[in-house]
Every structure is written in C-alpha cells, then in structure tokens.
Structure 1
Amino acid sequence: MRAAFVAELTALLAEDPRTALVLADISADSFAPAAHRHPDRVLNVGIREQLMIGVAGGLALTGLRPVVHSYAPFLVERAYEQIKLDLDHQGVGAVLVSIGASYDRPEAGRTHLSPADVALIDTLGDWTVHVPGHPDEVPALLRATVAGDAPAYLRLSILTNDRPRGNDGSLQVVRDAGPGAPLLVAVGPLLDPALAAVEQLPVTVAWTHRPRPFDTAGLRALAGTEVILVEPYLAGTSSRVVAAALADRPHRVLALGVGREDLRRYGTAGDHSRWHGLDAAGLRRSVTAFLAPWATPSR
C-alpha cells in the first residue's frame, strides 16, 4: 500500500498544482524525485511531527490541498493537538496518510504501534476515514480524496485481502445468509480472515473501506438482531455508531478489534493478529461464543 501511495501521489503532484506534500523524514527518500521537481510543494520539516501538521494547516489556508504523511503514531497520536487546532478548529482540510497501522511494525516496539488512531480522529468533526483492504484500492481512494476539500484520513497497512474490492464506501455484501441472519461488518484488510471465520455459519458478511462516515443506512437495511464488528484498530471504535443507528430496535453488538491490553512484546504482525484474536481461528471462537444458537453449521 505504501508503494502504491508513493506512486500515485507522485503523479498527482505533477498533474495538479494545488496538491502539496508535507513530510517529517518518513518516506522522504521515496519522494525525493518529486521533491526535486516540486520543491515549493514537497516539504520535509524533519522529525517535527507537530510542525508538520501546522505547516499543512498553513498550506490549506492558502488554497493548497496538503497531504501529510508519516507512521500512524507520529501522525495522529503525537500531533493530535495540532490536528485538532490547526486543521479541525481552523476549518481547513488536509489528507492525512499513515503507514504502520495498528501493529504493522511490532519489531520497532510500542512507539510504532497505534491501534487508537481512528478512535482519536473520531473525536473530531466530519472527518472521512478510509481503510483500504488491498494495495490496488489505494490509488483511486487517494485520487478521489485529494480532489476534495474535506479533512480525511487514509490508513495504509501491510495487511491485505486476496483481491481489491473498490466501491463508494457503502457496506458491500460479500456473503448473504438471508433475511434476519447475524451481520458481520469487516473493515479494510480483515475481510479475508472474517470470511474464513464464519465459513459454514449462517452469517451475512458486509465489507467497507470507509468506517467514517459509517454507512448507517446500509447497516439498518442489513442488520437483524446480532451485529459483529471486525475492525483492524481499537476494539469498539465503531460501537457507538452502530448503537445510535439501531437505537430504535433490539440488537446486540460484538466489537472485535485490537485489545486495550499493552502486550509488552514484539513478535510479528501475524503474531499480534493471533494475540488479539483477529486471525480466522480467533475470530471464529469469538463469533461462535457470541451467537450461541445461531452458530450451528449450515446444512
């Protein structure tokens, strides 16, 4: 996804003089050719993430469309106050593009883990959040987002589904178990393990790359009594949205995602998926326990 982002943004910088890029050293080598061609619109502020956001806010006030890029914990957590004040409070738009996701680079330690990034962005007003599930989804999402004016967060990961599934961000039914069946909503790159987890279970599976704004109309059309959220970031991030959308009808929600416990260990991204129960086996255990009588293999 990172390579797809670099290639597409390099093309956009050449095509659209409104587009700008602000870096804090991360990926500076990858964007060196673009910086050479567009020195006034590709700015590297060094290891100063808060300044990076402030510069982006200033560029946006001049009419440019800034793209701001770094690892998720540096881009969102470290610079959250500047996002809140220099972008959100000023009413200007920028496109934040992160790499690293929740636990993509665990060998670097806790400083590079950021499962709470989407939850933090969710405290702000009217941001769009895209969580692509495959590298081939990145170019179109980036291009469409840069073409707009609203604030947006594009969350890139090393995790990927087996194939791209592009759409407008509405809930896309991937597996239909019929009316009244429990609904599982998978976000971004967790579709494949979610599908594997509910194999032979009477569960409808829907997918989205856009958890914000959440497709509440689609949710209401698809949801029965049981709703299962499978998100690649902090567990429960979208629970409030689902609860509000279904407030007028009885329902139960199971929110699966990255746990709040600090594991204090390294390992690989695959290890962390397993430790947080986000691999197919872990998801199946959680889903079958939640559904109880629903969790009978279909015949």
Structure 2
Amino acid sequence: MDTMRDRFAPVVSRLLDEDPRVAVVLAEIGVDGFTAARRRHPDRVINVGIREQLLIGAGAGLALTGMRPVLHTFASFLIERPFEQVKLDLGHQGLGAVLVSAAASFDWPAGGYTHMAPGDISLLDTLDGWTVHVPGHPDEAETLLRHAVAAGDDKVYVRLSAQSNTDALPVDGARFRTVREGRSGVVVAVGPMLDAVLTATEGLDLTVLYATTVRPFDGPALRRSAGAARSDIVLVEPYLAGTSTAAASEALADIPHRVLGLGVARRELRRYGTVPEHLAAHGLDPHSLRERITAFTRAASGAPGRPKT
C-alpha cells in the first residue's frame, strides 16, 4: 500500500491543473514529486531551498495576491522552525494557507530528534483559527487534502504520517465517527491510532470514536457518546500526550468526567530505533494501550485490585 505522502504530490498536482488559484511552495523536500507539475505550471510550483522561514513568508505573499498556497516539508521544519512566520506572516495578517507536513512525531527515527515533531499541534493550539486534519489512511489523506485546499482562505494543517490503519473510513473534514459503541467510557482514537485502539479495546464495553479532524474539536460528538452520567474519556493521539485534554474537558464542562490523555511522552528517546519501538516506548502499542485504558476505567469503577480516584 502506498503512504499518505505518496498521495500528496499526485493529488496536489491535479489540484494545480484544476484550480488556477492553487500554488505549491516547497523547501527542497518533496521537489521530485512535482517535476511534471512544475513543467506545466512553472509560476505556481516554487522551491525556496532549505529556507523554512522563507517557505512560510513566500506562502503568505502568495495568499496576499489571492492565491491558495500549499506549503510542504517535514513537520519539525514546517511548524516548529518557522513558528514566528506562521504566527505573524499568516496569523497576524489574517492570511490562509494549507500546511502539509511529513514525518509526523517519529516516522523517520534515523533522522534523529531534529526530524521529530510530537509537539506540532500543541504549538498550533497557541494560535487562533487553525483547522487540523490528522488522516489515518492514504485514502483519507487524499480526501482531507482536497477539503483543505477547497476551504476558502482558511488556515489548515494536514498532518501526514507513514503510519496507517489497515482500512480507510469515510471522513468529512469535520466530525468524529463512531466506530464501536459501549457503556463504560469513551476512547477517542486519532488518525493512525485507530487500529491499535480497536485491538486494545476488543471485548471491552467502551465506545470508540475516530477523529481525523481534531481542530475544531468535535465536542458535540464527544458529548453524545459520553451521555449525561459520569464518563471516563481516553484520548489516544499520535502526538504529544494530553494535547486535546483541555478541549475534551471544555466539551464536557457540565458533565462529571475524567480524562486520560495518551500519546507521545515529553521525555526524549535518545536512540533511533524503529517506529514500532518508539510506539512501545511511549505506551502506544496495543498491549500497552489495553493495560493503560483498563487501569483507568477500572479505577473509576472501584474494581478489585485497583485504587479508587
């Protein structure tokens, strides 16, 4: 199966053909995928070289002229390194763009910590008005890329990952999807975490919601699943643990609830390893998730051998 990033250049190349407003700005990464598109649209496929601050600034300049810029590089170079430009060139000036990242939290461990960005969405959360898509399958990535480009002049971040669920689900660029229903709590699985969550919760009386658009956070869907009684909510995110706990708590402000945020830990892993090893180290493999989720939900019910909270 191809990857989400394999879909990026073909989809955006077609969008360049279909919409004269679309422009692509690259910072060396991904240039080869746009060779043919650059021949057809030399004025709308731009490579600024390894200059990530310029990547954002050039995109903002295009937006000022009425274009719909799509900006692409690794997440750490797209959000973290040029954050001042994201904040000022786009946010402060009220300009829209589509930021499409690669490498996610640790998709390329051999690249080291410079190429890891588990805090990207937490960083964007300090700014106003961003839509954030986290697809879990290449087919979903294609749909959400089209949603992002078609979203008027909004600010949109599309987080592509080499990790993928086995099957794609219908996504609409807005709402969470109910995948499994239960009565003892709600687990929100974000993007490529769905397969692991479904395996981890097999046989447990838990609702599983699938989230591929996490900003705006679909509070109404969470409220419907939580109901009016005391609820236990577990968020399983493929980036920094706890990124969405505040959003979940805000959605349930008038309902007694507890929230457990599972994701990438803040501690830095200083060995390259493999993606599965990183997942296990952060407790995001199915076995670890099952242990952590059952411990949390059993503690609430006062099950034998578990402390009450």
TM range (shorter): over 0.9
In structure 2, the residue matched to 1:282 is: 288
Q: Helix, strand or coil: the match of 1:31?
A: helix
Deviations 1:147-192 (A, max 9, x none): 12200000000111111112223121101114xx200000001000
- Residue in structure 2 matching 1:74, options 70, 74, 77: 77
- The yes-or-no answer on 1:115 pairing with 2:118 is yes
Q: Helix, strand or coil: the match of 1:69?
A: strand
How many residues get paired? 294
Stretch of structure 1 that moved more, 168-177 or 260-269: 168-177
- Cα distance in 1 between the residues matched to 2:302 and 2:24: 49
- The yes-or-no answer on 1:162 pairing with 2:196 is no
Q: Residues 295, 136 of structure 1: CA spacing in aligned structure 2 closer, same or farther, 3 A cutoff?
A: farther
- Cα distance in 2 between the residues matched to 1:279 and 1:166: 24
In structure 2, the residue matched to 1:88 is: 91
In structure 2, the residue matched to 1:260 is: 266
* Mapping of residues 1-299 of structure 1, within 5 Å: 1-148=4-151, 149-168=153-172, 169-178=174-183, 181-223=184-226, 224-292=230-298
Q: Helix, strand or coil: the match of 2:33?
A: coil
Q: Helix, strand or coil: the match of 1:30?
A: helix
Identity in percent? 54
- Cα distance in 1 between the residues matched to 2:254 and 2:80: 35
TM-score (norm 1): 0.96
Shift of 1:36: 1.6
Shift of 1:5: 1.1
Stretch of structure 1 that moved more, 185-194 or 240-249: 240-249
Q: Which amino acid aligns with 2:277?
A: D
Q: Which amino acid aligns with 1:289?
A: A
Q: Which amino acid aligns with 1:166?
A: P
- Listed as ranges, the gaps of 5+ residues in structure 2 are 304-309
**Would the aligned equivalents of 1:288 and 1:295 in 2 still touch at CA under 8 Å?**
no
**Would the aligned equivalents of 2:87 and 2:127 in 1 still touch at CA under 8 Å?**
yes
Q: Helix, strand or coil: the match of 2:217?
A: coil
**Would the aligned equivalents of 1:170 and 1:208 in 2 still touch at CA under 8 Å?**
yes
The alignment's C-alpha RMSD in Å is 1.2
- Cα distance in 2 between the residues matched to 1:46 and 1:60: 20
**Would the aligned equivalents of 2:143 and 2:171 in 1 still touch at CA under 8 Å?**
no
Shift of 1:295: 9.9
Q: Helix, strand or coil: the match of 1:211?
A: strand
Q: Which amino acid aligns with 2:56?
A: I
